[in-house]
Structure 1
Amino acid sequence: MTHRFQCRVYYEDTDFGGIVYYANYLKFIERARSEWVRALGLDQRAMKEGAGTVFAVRRITAEYLSPARFDDLLDVETEVVSVRPARMTLRQRVLREGVVLFDAEVELVAIGPEGRPVRLPEVLRALAG
């Protein structure tokens, strides 16, 4: 299952040369993950207010392949690579007109109110099968 999220590059996303500042790719994939979780029916605010569970990035490996520029329309793809009880790994890619500009592997962990790993919500653990 691949989730797709579109975003436009705004002036604020770019550097002096009109190229997307490298750290903003992390913002783009974060927004895409939030929309992916929402599409799965999870309410992150309710998770935090109820059980005190939040998601945190444990590790990210990224490759910057080609620059995005001001006013580009980007597609962010999110795919599940693996799921374990308290963490999961996603592959996220940022594309412009089908060309991959940024490719990342992101490991997420579910964190409880004490700051320790807890089990992922069932809907995410079910993605393992």
Structure 2
Amino acid sequence: MSHKFPVRVYYEDTDMGGVVYHANYLRYIERARSDWVRALGNDQNAMRDAGFVWVVRRVEADYLAAARFDDELVVETAIAEMSGARMVLDQVVSREGDAIFRARVTVVCMSQSGRPVRLPAEIRVLGK
């Protein structure tokens, strides 16, 4: 199962050459993950109020081609691996069907005290 999230490149996303600044790809994939979790019915505000949060533990990123001002992009998110408190996601940013950025992101569900806790039930069922 994968989730698709549309992104348009705005002027503020680019450098002086009109190319998307490299760190903004991390913003795009973060927004896509948040939208995906919301679509699954996981309320991150309620989760935080209950004392749990998602934490990015690791990001491996490959920049394949440049996105430019006004491009229409799609971020696709899919689960690669899952364990009790950890999930590894593959995320691809594409333009017109061609991958321009790939990331493998490891996220962990943590308590406010900084200890790993089990993934929410609505997420765990996806790993089965």
State the TM bucket, normalised to the shorter chain: over 0.9
Unpaired runs of 5+ in structure 2? Answer: none
Match of 1:43 in 2: 43
SS at match of 2:16: coil
Query: What secondary structure, in the 3-state scheme, does the structure 1 residue paired with 2:59 have?
Result: strand
Normalising to structure 1: TM-score of the pair? 0.98
Question: Counterpart amino acid of 2:96?
Answer: E
- How well do the aligned residues superpose, as a CA RMSD in angstroms? 0.5
1:92 corresponds to 2:80 = no
- Pair 1:108 & 2:98 matched: no
Partner of 2:118: 119
Following superposition, which runs of at least 4 residues in structure 1 exceed 2 angstroms of deviation? none
Equivalent position of 2:67 in the other structure: 68
Percent identity over the alignment is 58
Figure out how many residues of one structure are paired with residues of the other and give that number: 128
Distance between the aligned counterparts of 1:127 and 1:43, measured in 2? 16
Aligned residue identity for 2:25:
Y
Q: TM-score, normalised by structure 2?
A: 0.98
- C-alpha distance in 1, partners of 2:67/2:112? 38
Q: Counterpart in 1 of 2:30?
A: 30
Task: Output one character per residue of 1:73-120: Cα deviation in whole Å (capped at 9) or x when no partner.
Answer: 100000000110000000000000000000010000001010111111
